[in-house]
Amino acid sequence: MNMPRHRPPTDPEPFLFEMGSTSDVPEAPTMPHEPALRLWSRSKARLIAEYLRLFVLVTKHGTYIDGFAGPQVDEDCWSARRVLETEPDWLRHFHLCDISATAVKQLEALRAAHPGRDIHVHQADFNARVDEILDVALGGKKEAAFCLLDQRTFQCRWATVEKLARFKQPSAYKIELFYFLANGWLDRAMAATTTPGGLEAIADWWGGDSWRPLRGAHHTVRARMLSDRFRNELGYRFAVPWQIYERGQGTPVMYYMIHATDHPVAPGLMARAYRSAVLGPSPPQLDLFTDMG
C-alpha cells in the first residue's frame, strides 16, 4: 500500500499543526474490530507509559490519576498496567478510577500485583468523584501530577476537565492532561444520538451546545478546536494533538491524544515518546506525518 509522503517531524513546535495533511487517508470504519482495537490501544498505552518514563527521569516523582482506568482490551494494551511497570518506578502515587465493577476487580488485582506501591482504586463515576480524588491525591502536595482521560467517546464531561485544570496545588504547573478525543467513530456516534438524554450527554462532554459544528468537520479541525480550548479556556501553555492510528502511520486516525501541559520540557518529551511508542523505529527516509506538533 502506498503511504502518503510527508516531511519528517522536527522537534515539537506545538502550534505547527498543519491542517488537512491527512486528507488522503481513508476515513475509519464505523466499528472497531478486535485486532485493530488491540493495535491502537497498545499504541495509546505505550505512548503514555513512555512519556511518563521520560518525564519522571526529570521530576523524580509524580502522582498519576487515571479517571477511566479499566482495561479496554487486554493487559498488554492497558495503560495503567504499563505505567505501573515502567522503570524506574519513581511515580509515587496512583489513583485509578473506573465506574464498572468488573474493571475495578481488575484494578484491584493490578494493585495486588504491585505490593509496596501507593495505589488507590476508586469505583466511581469519575465526573462525580473528581473533586474528592483530587483532594486525596494532591491536596497540599507539591508534586508533578498527571491525569489520563481515556474515555471511549463522550464519558468525560468538560466540567471534569475544567476541575482538573483549575485544581490549586502548591506546584507551579497545572495537572498535566492526556485527553483522548475519539475520531474513528465520532461522526457515527454523534449521528446516532437523537434522544434528549443522549444529546445532553454530548453537551456535557463538550461543555455546551456548541459541539454541533464538530459533525462532519475534518478530524484535524476537530482536534485543533479542542486543543485551542485547552489553551484558551483552560490556560494551558501547550496543548498538542497527537494522532493514534488504527494500524500504523498512514492508516485511519482512531483517536487524538491531546497533551495539555504548562511544563516547557513536556512537549519535547512527548515528541520523543511518540516517535518511539507510536511511529516505532524508522529508517532515515521513512515518511512521517508532521501535523502533530
Ligand X SMILES: C[S@@+](CC[C@H](N)C(=O)[O-])C[C@H]1O[C@@H](n2cnc3c(N)ncnc32)[C@H](O)[C@@H]1O
Cβ at position 182, least distance to ligand X in Å: 9
**Least Cβ distance, residue 180 to ligand X (angstroms):** 7
* Separation CA 279–CA 51 (nearest Å): 14
Q: Is 103 in the site for ligand X (CB under 6 A)?
A: yes
For 91-116, b where at least 16 C-beta lie within 10 A, e where not — what string?
bbbbbbbbbeeebbebbeebbeeeee
The residue type found at 166 is R
Tell me which residues in 107-136 interact with ligand X (CB under 6 A): 125-127
CB of 97 to ligand X, least distance (A): 5
How many of the chain's residues bind ligand X (CB under 6 A)?
Answer: 23
Give 6 or 114: the residue with its C-beta nearer to ligand X.
Answer: 114
d(CA 50, CA 54): 6
Nearer to ligand X, 18 or 125 (CB): 125
3-state secondary structure of 23: coil
**Residue from 17, 78, 230, 256 in contact with ligand X (CB under 6 A):** 78
User: Which CB sits closer to ligand X, 128 or 286?
Assistant: 128
As given in the structure block, the three cell numbers for residue 64 are 498519576
Among 99, 110, 121, 257, binds ligand X (CB under 6 A): 99
> Which whole-number Å values give the CA distances from 158 to 26, 43, 201, 207, 225, in the listed order?
29, 25, 11, 5, 14
CB 158 within 8 A of CB 206: yes
Q: In angstroms, what is the minimal distance from the CB of 106 to ligand X?
A: 9
Q: Interface with ligand X by CB under 6 A: which range of 66-74, 139-147, 263-271, 273-281?
A: 66-74
Residue 28: CB atoms within 10 A of its CB come to: 24
Residue choice 65, 97, 119, 138 for contact with ligand X (CB under 6 A): 97
Instruction: State in angstroms the smallest separation of the CB of 2 from ligand X.
Output: 32
The secondary structure of 52-95 as a DSSP string is HHHHHHHHS--EEEETT-S-SS-GGG-HHHHHHH-SS----EEE
Which of 84, 289 has the CB closer to ligand X?
84
Q: Residue count of the chain, please give it.
A: 293
Q: Does residue 204 touch ligand X according to CB under 6 A?
A: no
Three-state SS at 87: coil
Q: Tell me the window of 68-76, 184-192, 212-220, 224-232 that interacts with ligand X (CB under 6 A).
A: 68-76
Residue numbers of the site for ligand X (CB under 6 A)?
A: 41, 45, 67-72, 77-79, 97-100, 103, 125-127, 150-152, 155
